[in-house]
């Protein structure tokens, strides 16, 4: 089939009005596996197809776009960057949105590829042209691409800023249209994932503006459209910089997260829980949360309640947040921090160990795995090992392979066993016989099935 496609492609490049051949090529390509096309990538001469885009023929353009979308998937981004630069530049100024989107998606592939992106970045003129071409478009793919280009290096951010594109994006972020604001914050969050991006946003006062919008959200009846994105922005900012500095400088963010956990809207609760999990994923963030005192304890009670009673999706988000909050790397297990995680765990419910064990026995793999992750997070902390050892039937539950039926649950149980078996305090707390059972489980792997012993009976058939 790939040979037939190549023959048609050659035929198309020879003819002036190859409409029939384009229809046939589009049809053939639907049944050619991408792997076969990749093997023939060197033979894919796409210049003639790009040329046909510029004739004023709607069906021909649509066919060429469809064919190029398929064939370009088989071509490495580096090859596209080196050999199709001119075609991409012309595509960016094409009157048809479908051609622009095709072209922008290829520029996106180039920007995401570390080898290919240098082809654009080493050519300042080309980069400027790409940026200015995108500037004329109000396509969401163009906005995402601007951030991708800006994120590559301080120089590429500078081109985008000079062109006015970033400023336009930031204006929309703080504008009156709440739906546009909601999509813009996702794009700005991507820009903030780089150090130079965060510096730029801080210098331009954007982070302060986002904080002010959070403060004013109480009086905005439409804030539910954009508030989750704004709160996620600060959660990501805190974990990439310093949770303490971000929370001290932008107290409105912390205040809003606590408020959102009290919301009747499950979407708001979910975002707040996710953000708490992100904040508490390192020790500095845990200490920031601990400083809020009884307020955080009340929040833990709420998370424990939701983990038991909420919808399945929110239960999983609560369990994931707790895994993040309760985990302490072995080298950071000081007495103070161990006391802190123990007190957090005990705040969750009357008997948290039984709560999570109950969830881990439910017939939903996602929930089981999320509950097992909570056990794994605390498995190498001595206080948790004592709780587990003293809880009737818990050690047997850990050792019992028959409980987990699906691959994901077996993997999750294996991670728990591994965390216990590799702990320095486990032999002392669980006792040597149990420690040896854990080591045996570990060496047998997650999917071990005990052979069924068969005894030969004399005279049996």
Q: What is the DSSP string of 181-208?
A: HHHHHHHHHHHTTSHHHHHHHHHTTHHH
Q: Mean per-residue pLDDT for 57-73?
A: 92
Give the length of the chain: 461
- Residues 322 and 374: beta-carbon distance below 8 Å: yes
Q: Under CATH, what is the fold of the domain 205-349?
A: 1.25.10
187 has pLDDT over 70: yes
Sign of dihedral through CA atoms 415, 421, 425, 426? Answer: positive
Contact 257, 231 (CB under 8 A): yes
DSSP 27-43: HHHTTS-HHHHHHTGGG
Helices 140-152, 165-173: axis angle to 10 degrees equals 120
Report d(CA 301, CA 307) in Å as an integer.
10
pLDDT value at 88 more than 90 = no
H helices, E strands: number in the chain: 31, 0
pLDDT in tens, 272-316: 999 999 999 999 999 999 999 999 999 999 999 999 999 999 999
Average pLDDT over the chain, rounded to whole?
89
**CA atoms within 13 A of residue 239's CA, in its CB half-sphere:** 18
Task: For tokens 């040597």, name the residue.
Answer: 432
Query: Residue 102's closest CA among 138, 66, 151, 144?
Result: 66
- Is residue 461 over pLDDT 50? no
**pLDDT tens track for 188-241:** 999 999 999 999 999 999 999 999 999 999 899 999 999 999 999 999 999 898
**Contact predicate 410/404, CB 8 Å:** yes
pLDDT over 90 at 163, yes or no: no
Residue 149 confidence (pLDDT) above 50: yes
Instruction: Tell whether pTM > 0.85.
Output: no
The C-alpha R_g of the chain, in whole angstroms, comes to: 29
Mean pLDDT of 387-412: 94
For 94-137, the pLDDT digits (tens) are 888 899 889 888 988 888 887 887 777 666 666 666 766 666 55
Min mean pLDDT across 55-69, 272-286, 387-401 is at 55-69
Contact 307, 318 (CB under 8 A): yes
Q: What is the pLDDT of residue 140?
A: 62
pLDDT of residue 363: 87
- For 134-143, the CB contacts below 8 A with 24+ separation are 134/92, 134/104, 134/165, 135/163, 135/164, 135/165, 135/168, 137/100, 137/104, 139/97, 139/100, 139/101, 139/104, 140/183, 141/101, 141/104, 141/105, 141/108, 142/104, 143/169, 143/183, 143/184, 143/187
């Amino acid at each position: 089939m790939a040979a037939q496609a190549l023959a048609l492609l050659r035929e198309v490049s020879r003819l002036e009005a190859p409409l029939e051949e384009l229809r046939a090529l589009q049809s053939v390509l639907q049944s050619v596996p991408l792997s076969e096309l990749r093997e023939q990538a060197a033979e894919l001469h796409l210049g003639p197809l790009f040329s046909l885009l510029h004739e004023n023929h709607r069906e021909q353009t649509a066919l060429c776009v469809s064919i190029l979308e398929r064939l370009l998937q088989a071509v490495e981004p580096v090859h596209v960057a080196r050999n199709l630069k001119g075609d991409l530049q012309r595509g960016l100024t094409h009157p048809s949105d479908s051609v622009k989107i095709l072209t922008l998606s290829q520029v996106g592939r180039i920007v995401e590829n570390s080898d290919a992106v240098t082809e654009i970045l080493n050519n300042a003129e080309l980069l400027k042209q790409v940026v200015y071409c995108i500037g004329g478009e109000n396509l969401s793919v163009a906005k995402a691409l601007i951030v991708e280009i800006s994120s590559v290096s301080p120089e590429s951010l500078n081109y985008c800023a000079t062109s006015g594109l970033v400023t336009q994006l930031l204006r929309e972020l703080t504008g009156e249209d709440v739906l546009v604001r909601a999509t813009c914050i996702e794009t700005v969050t991507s820009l903030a994932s780089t150090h130079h991006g965060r510096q730029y946003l801080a210098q331009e006062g954007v982070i302060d503006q986002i904080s002010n919008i959070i403060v004013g959200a109480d009086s905005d009846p439409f804030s539910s459209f954009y508030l989750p994105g704004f709160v996620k922005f600060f959660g990501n900012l805190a974990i990439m910089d310093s949770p303490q500095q971000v929370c001290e400088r932008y107290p409105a963010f912390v205040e809003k997260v606590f408020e959102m956990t009290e919301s009747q809207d499950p979407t708001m609760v979910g975002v707040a829980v996710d953000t708490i999990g992100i904040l508490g994923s390192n020790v500095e963030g845990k200490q920031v949360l601990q400083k809020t005192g009884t307020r955080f304890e009340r929040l833990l009670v709420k998370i424990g309640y939701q983990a038991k009673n909420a919808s399945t999706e929110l239960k999983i988000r609560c369990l994931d947040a707790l895994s993040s909050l309760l985990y302490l790397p072995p080298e950071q297990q000081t007495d103070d921090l161990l006391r802190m995680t123990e007190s957090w765990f005990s705040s969750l419910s009357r008997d948290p160990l039984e709560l999570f064990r109950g969830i881990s026995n439910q017939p939903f793999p996602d929930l089981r795995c999320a509950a097992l992750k909570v056990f794994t997070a605390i498995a190498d902390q001595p206080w948790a090992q004592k709780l587990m050892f003293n809880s009737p039937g818990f050690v047997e539950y850990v050792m019992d392979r028959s409980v987990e039926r699906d691959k994901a649950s077996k993997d999750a149980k294996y991670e728990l066993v591994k965390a216990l078996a590799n702990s320095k305090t486990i032999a002392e707390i669980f006792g040597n016989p149990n420690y040896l059972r854990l080591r045996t489980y570990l060496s047998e792997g997650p999917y071990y099935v005990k052979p069924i012993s068969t005894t030969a009976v004399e005279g049996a058939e």
